[in-house]
Chain A
Amino acid sequence: MTMANSRSKILEAVKLSQPAFSEIITANIPQSKENLPAKFAGASTNVGGKFIQLNTLEELKSYIAENFKRTGIILSDIVELSDFSVLEIKEMDPHSLANVELAILRANLAVAENGTCWLPEENAIQRVLPFITQHLIVVVSNDAFVPSMHQAYEIIDQDIYGYGVFIAGPSKTADIEQSLVLGAHGPRSMTICLIQELNNKEKR
């Protein structure tokens, strides 16, 4: 087997084949910063998400009580929700999350153009959690919104994370005759909740 040499073989071949060095010439892309939560709401709805606005975390509690089964396992790292959710998630074996009904997580970044929220590992708590839960609620504050992916990457450009994910709505597929079905392998629903009076703990 010559695999040990493959590295140098490949790099040598690439060096020989690659064209003369050329600089990147990219143009700046203008973005409108108006009305971001409304734009986000529209985009999120288009990708199957649900966008709601509440004033306080207390209101979120009643919203959850009215809209979700309280019998299933609910996980969150938001202390205000501790009377019905499990907070100690970090040390769990990911496989033990298989029966989670609802996860309520925070996001510091929401992109208006496409309805995505950014969840780095510390917000997801466990990498598999935003995927394995049957339903997902993501809580954002007013200052989380940016117009497009360009601004999103400007913000996370120097961030240190082991893992991070942009999530746009519930898990979905259209592989069978292009019929859209929500709830492929991940959450069957995603609710993005803007809390007006939320203190963004990690203000950037």
Chain B
Amino acid sequence: MKDHSRLSEVFNEDEQRVNWHDETLWWIRQKRDKAANMLPEWELLRENASQIKHHTLSNLANYLEQFESKALANGITVHWAANAVEHNEIVLSILNRNGIDQIVKSKSMLTEECHLNAFLESNGVGVVDSDLGERIVQLAEEPPSHIVLPCIHKKKEEIGELFHKHLGTAHGEADPQVLTEAARQDLRSVFLTRRAALTGVNFAVAETGEIVICTNEGNADMGVHLADIHIASMGIEKIIPKRKDLGIFLRLLARSATGQPITTYSSHFKTPRLGQEMHMILVDNGRSRQLGREEFRNSLKCIRCGACMNTCPVYRRSGGHSYQYTISGPIGSILAPNLDMQKHADLPFASTLCGSCTNVCPVKIDIHNQLYQWRQVLVAAGKTTATKRWGMKIASTLFAYPALFGAAGKLGRSLMKITPYLFKNRLNPWYHQREMPAPPEQSFREWYKKQRNNKD
């Protein structure tokens, strides 16, 4: 299996495209800054949000039970799924019971995490993703590359090609206005004919048993309000204690995500529509384990705004697919190893630890610190490659013995002069994209010693 750095190399082969990807995401990051800077209370909001999440995690079991009892009283059926398999089985059983073989779905990273679409399709259920970006990657048979902007890696010409093939738009048509209209017409007939709608959840209020779903397109509402059955899937960390806490989170979410003051729609679902059936699936899938990892539990505060991705110099120049996990970028690199340490051991190293992610996080997760901590855990557990392990061992020996360090430096400098081909070859990854620097005549230590001697 290719790791993050190999896949990044592939992504970097098309330099213009990488620059375009990088600049687009940075532009979104700048819009976020503008929105945040307009509020003098921004830092206070972040602090409050972080505190509320911290409190919620410290009392999560009680809040989950409170949420369940309120939801039941609201006429909602509540299911619990310990893992992805159980989640998918629950969805399928609800659909089977009602004889439904076609559903419409709005954005839900949790169902991506559970690979629900593939599971349903292999069981004869057709799934149509209704968020435009998700629909595009679905037609392209790709996973989303960003949690908020699923097809941020795609050029409009490529989308035009997909729509020409699947939706019958004119060949070569790449105008976003025209393509969006085509998707609108196509999905409208889907909304009007599906008897079941599946959605994700942005916030679940323990006090009232209601859930809040945020979209710009209105696709979640179009699906749900026209369907007989609404299934909402949520991770157990989506709980917030009170309705009024939404004031804080809704002010932070869209500003952090895209720089909008709020999403177009913030929909509060408390009871099913008259005659409608509503199901809520509470999913653990590793979350309780992450809650128990003291150094990583803060990652459960995440509200999935994507700000850490937009700001990350590694994400921007490697693309979401290089992470090979539903949630890419810095926050995904903390969440993924919790699910499979071996498979995702590369991700905590896909960072410069510059800390920009931590600075923009609306709930103040210490993301870069957790990436650093994961590295310690992964090395101790023997999950890193032999090259990395031995490289680190050799480096730490060198740094531990000053005499050895000095000698190695001297040897390196003379070899660079005498046998430059030892360094200027394919085996040296540094040389792939750069010239080797000219070897200096003396090291800093040698120079420093000489200065001291001259003075004396």
Could you tell me which A residues sit within 8 Å of B by CB distance?
1-3, 6-7, 9-11, 13-27, 29-30, 43, 46-47, 94-95, 98, 113-116, 126-128, 131-132, 148-150, 152-154, 156-157, 161-179, 181, 183-187
Q: Once the chains bind, are B187 and A21 in contact (CB under 8 Å)?
A: no
A184 (CB) vs chain B CBs: closest residue: B217
Beyond the given A127-B225, A186-B221, please list 15 additional residue pairs across the A-B interface where CB-CB is below 8 A: A6-B80, A6-B81, A7-B80, A16-B292, A19-B297, A30-B41, A46-B261, A127-B224, A148-B247, A149-B251, A165-B221, A167-B265, A168-B265, A176-B159, A176-B180
Considering only residues 244-273 of chain B, those with a C-beta below 8 Å from chain A are 244, 246-248, 250-251, 258, 260-273
Q: What would 23 A/B residue contacts be, using CB atoms closer than 8 Å?
A: A10-B64, A13-B292, A29-B44, A29-B45, A116-B266, A126-B225, A161-B268, A161-B270, A162-B74, A162-B270, A165-B265, A165-B267, A171-B218, A174-B216, A175-B133, A175-B151, A178-B149, A178-B152, A179-B176, A184-B184, A184-B219, A185-B217, A186-B217
A116–B262 CA distance with the chains assembled, in angstroms? 8
Partner of B289, one of A17, A18, A186, A187: A17
B227 (CB) vs chain A CBs: closest residue: A94
* Minimum CB–CB distance for B299 against chain A, Å: 13
> Is B52's beta carbon under 8 Å from chain A?
yes
A10–B288 CA distance with the chains assembled, in angstroms? 7
A166–B265 CA distance with the chains assembled, in angstroms? 6
Q: Once the chains bind, are A14 and B61 in contact (CB under 8 Å)?
A: yes
Could you tell me which B residues sit within 8 Å of A by CB distance?
24, 27-28, 41, 44-45, 47-48, 51-52, 54-55, 57-61, 64-65, 74, 79-82, 86, 89-90, 130-133, 136, 149-152, 155-156, 159, 176-177, 179-181, 184, 187-188, 191-192, 216-219, 221-222, 224-226, 236, 241, 243-244, 246-248, 250-251, 258, 260-273, 282, 284, 288-289, 291-292, 294, 297
**Which of chain A's residues have a CB closer than 8 A to the CB of B156?**
176-177, 179
Q: Once the chains bind, are B155 and A177 in contact (CB under 8 Å)?
A: yes
B24 (CB) vs chain A CBs: closest residue: A178
A126 (CB) vs chain B CBs: closest residue: B225
B273 (CB) vs chain A CBs: closest residue: A127
Q: Once the chains bind, are B64 and A6 in contact (CB under 8 Å)?
A: no
A25–B58 CA distance with the chains assembled, in angstroms? 13
Q: Once the chains bind, are B262 and A114 in contact (CB under 8 Å)?
A: yes
B221 (CB) vs chain A CBs: closest residue: A131
A127–B224 CA distance with the chains assembled, in angstroms? 9
Report how many A-B pairs have Cβ atoms within 8 Å.
246
Partner of A27, one of B44, B79, B282: B44
**Which of chain B's residues have a CB closer than 8 A to the CB of A30?**
41
A152–B219 CA distance with the chains assembled, in angstroms? 24
Q: Dominant SS at the B interface?
A: helix
**Which of chain B's residues have a CB closer than 8 A to the CB of A173?**
132-133, 180, 216-217
A18–B297 CA distance with the chains assembled, in angstroms? 9
**Which of chain B's residues have a CB closer than 8 A to the CB of A171?**
216-218, 264-265
Q: Once the chains bind, are A166 and B90 in contact (CB under 8 Å)?
A: no
* Minimum CB–CB distance for A30 against chain B, Å: 7
Q: Once the chains bind, are A47 and B217 in contact (CB under 8 Å)?
A: no
Partner of A176, one of B176, B188, B225, B244: B176
Q: Once the chains bind, are A95 and B226 in contact (CB under 8 Å)?
A: yes
A170–B449 CA distance with the chains assembled, in angstroms? 71
A116 (CB) vs chain B CBs: closest residue: B262
With contacts A19-B294, A127-B225, A149-B250 taken as known, whether A168 is within 8 angstroms of B261 at the C-beta atoms is yes
With contacts A10-B284, A13-B284, A177-B176 taken as known, whether A185 is within 8 angstroms of B222 at the C-beta atoms is yes
* Minimum CB–CB distance for B201 against chain A, Å: 15
Q: Dominant SS at the A interface?
A: loop
A14–B282 CA distance with the chains assembled, in angstroms? 13
**Which of chain A's residues have a CB closer than 8 A to the CB of B292?**
13, 16-17
Q: Once the chains bind, are B241 and A24 in contact (CB under 8 Å)?
A: yes
* Minimum CB–CB distance for B25 against chain A, Å: 10
* Minimum CB–CB distance for B363 against chain A, Å: 13
**Which of chain B's residues have a CB closer than 8 A to the CB of A168?**
260-265
Q: Once the chains bind, are B86 and A6 in contact (CB under 8 Å)?
A: yes
**Which of chain A's residues have a CB closer than 8 A to the CB of B61?**
11, 14-15, 18
**Which of chain B's residues have a CB closer than 8 A to the CB of A131?**
218, 221-222, 225, 265
A43 (CB) vs chain B CBs: closest residue: B261
**Which of chain B's residues have a CB closer than 8 A to the CB of A157?**
243-244
Partner of B177, one of A47, A114, A181: A181
Q: Once the chains bind, are B261 and A115 in contact (CB under 8 Å)?
A: yes
* Minimum CB–CB distance for B1 against chain A, Å: 30
Q: Once the chains bind, are A153 and B244 in contact (CB under 8 Å)?
A: yes
**Which of chain B's residues have a CB closer than 8 A to the CB of A29?**
41, 44-45, 48
With contacts A19-B297, A95-B226 taken as known, whether A47 is within 8 angstroms of B260 at the C-beta atoms is yes
Query: Lowest 9 CB-CB distances: which A-B pairs, in order?
Result: A186-B218, A17-B292, A128-B225, A114-B261, A184-B217, A175-B133, A13-B288, A162-B271, A179-B176
B177 (CB) vs chain A CBs: closest residue: A181
A148–B38 CA distance with the chains assembled, in angstroms? 13
Partner of B262, one of A7, A17, A149: A149
**Which of chain B's residues have a CB closer than 8 A to the CB of A126?**
225
* Minimum CB–CB distance for B87 against chain A, Å: 10
* Minimum CB–CB distance for A88 against chain B, Å: 16
**Which of chain A's residues have a CB closer than 8 A to the CB of B180?**
173, 176, 181, 183-184
Scoring A21, A94, A161, A162 by chain B CB atoms within 10 A of each residue's CB, the highest score goes to A162
**Which of chain B's residues have a CB closer than 8 A to the CB of A153?**
243-244, 246-247
**Which of chain A's residues have a CB closer than 8 A to the CB of B270?**
161-164
With contacts A3-B86, A30-B41 taken as known, whether A10 is within 8 angstroms of B282 at the C-beta atoms is yes
